[in-house]
């Protein structure tokens, strides 16, 4: 597991809850640099990890189980209990981690991921991925230009860790089988569902909210899908507030038996259409 180092400052809030940050598809832990800088200034113990197949781990096979293990290991690095924050792909991985390890997940912030990753939606993403794969650079230049045009100052953080264009197919196939609503319902702790007001991944946000035991739904103005980079200060404030709230909750007891990553056991199972 490759990570940005935890932030340590003695003048930080006493007994503040550690924070684990999980990046989006094709990106890396570098996308969290604005949050790492702001949280370090507050003395928050924070760690951003690279998922399999991304950043410093390019070339590794991506599986949802391996991604959950990465986050689990990051939590243990910070003491065994943390607020888990994920965006886009990282949001789905964070949800799966919370469901599999509720006693280690003090709170969950899931951003830019309130669209059910069913096979029909996954197919919408497989088509452009297949087209990009035909380009000599697998679409790297197109994606880099898109981020520079849409993210402004945030583009540097998004691009510094490289773009893992080759990881998209495996990620889409893995996440498309995830029963995300059941996973959310399984987790008993506090959940923050965060979306940029302009994010197309908001389409099922009400269903995600209803699936949670203890949820808050926040839409951030003037932000798109990469809300943490569009509005870094606002997003970091949400993380800090979530960490402070979650730190006051009693830890969930560990499960008697290991919990599997929430997946669809029966490929014929379908929730009603939205």
Question: pLDDT at position 249, please?
Answer: 82
Q: What is the pLDDT of residue 272?
A: 33
Give the span between the Cα atoms of 63 and 82, in whole angstroms.
Answer: 22
Tens of pLDDT along 53-77? 999 999 999 999 999 999 999 999 9
List the one residue out of 23, 71, 74, 19 whose CA is nearest residue 44.
Answer: 19
Residue found under tokens 């994010």: 199
Say how far apart CA 209 and CA 215 lie, in whole Å: 6
Q: Is residue 256 part of a domain?
A: no
pLDDT 10s digits, 188-241: 999 999 999 999 889 999 999 999 999 999 999 999 999 999 999 999 999 999
Burial category of 19 from C-beta neighbours within 10 Å (exposed 0-12, middle 13-18, buried 19 and up): buried
Is 95 a domain residue? yes
The domain of 50 spans 14-205+215-247
Write down the pLDDT at residue 6. 41
Amino acid 67: pLDDT:
98
Count of domains observed in the chain: 1
In a domain, 99, yes or no: yes
Closest CA to 22 of 42, 62, 117, 10: 62
Looking up residue 79, the CATH number of its domain turns out to be 3.40.50.1820
Q: Name residues of the chain where pLDDT drops below 50.
A: 1-2, 4-12, 120, 127, 256-274
The answer to whether residue 228 is domain-embedded is yes
Residue 239 lies in a domain: yes
């Amino acid at each position: 597991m490759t990570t940005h180092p935890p932030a340590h400052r003695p003048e930080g809030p006493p007994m503040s809850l550690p924070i684990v940050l999980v990046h989006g598809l094709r990106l890396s832990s570098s996308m969290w640099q604005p949050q790492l800088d702001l949280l370090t200034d507050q003395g928050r113990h924070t760690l951003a990890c690279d998922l399999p197949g991304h950043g410093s781990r390019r070339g590794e096979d991506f599986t949802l189980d391996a991604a959950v293990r990465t986050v689990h290991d990051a939590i243990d690095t910070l003491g065994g209990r943390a607020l888990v924050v994920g965006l886009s792909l990282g949001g789905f991985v964070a949800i799966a981690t919370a469901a599999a390890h509720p006693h280690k997940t003090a709170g969950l912030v899931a951003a830019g991921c309130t669209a059910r990753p069913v096979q029909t939606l996954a197919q919408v993403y497989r088509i452009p991925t297949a087209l990009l794969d035909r380009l000599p650079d697998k679409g790297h230049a197109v994606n880099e230009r898109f981020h520079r045009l849409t993210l402004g100052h945030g583009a540097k953080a998004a691009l510094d860790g490289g773009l893992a264009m080759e990881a998209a197919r495996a990620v889409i196939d893995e996440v498309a089988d995830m029963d995300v609503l059941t996973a959310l319902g399984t987790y008993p702790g506090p959940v923050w569902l965060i979306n940029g007001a302009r994010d197309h991944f908001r389409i099922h946000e009400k269903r995600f909210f209803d699936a949670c035991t203890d949820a808050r739904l926040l839409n951030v103005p003037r932000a798109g899908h990469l809300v943490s980079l569009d509005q870094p200060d606002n997003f970091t404030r949400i993380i800090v507030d979530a960490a402070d709230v979650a730190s006051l909750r009693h830890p969930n007891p560990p499960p008697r038996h290991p919990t599997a990553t929430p997946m669809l056991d029966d490929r014929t199972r379908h929730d009603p259409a939205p």
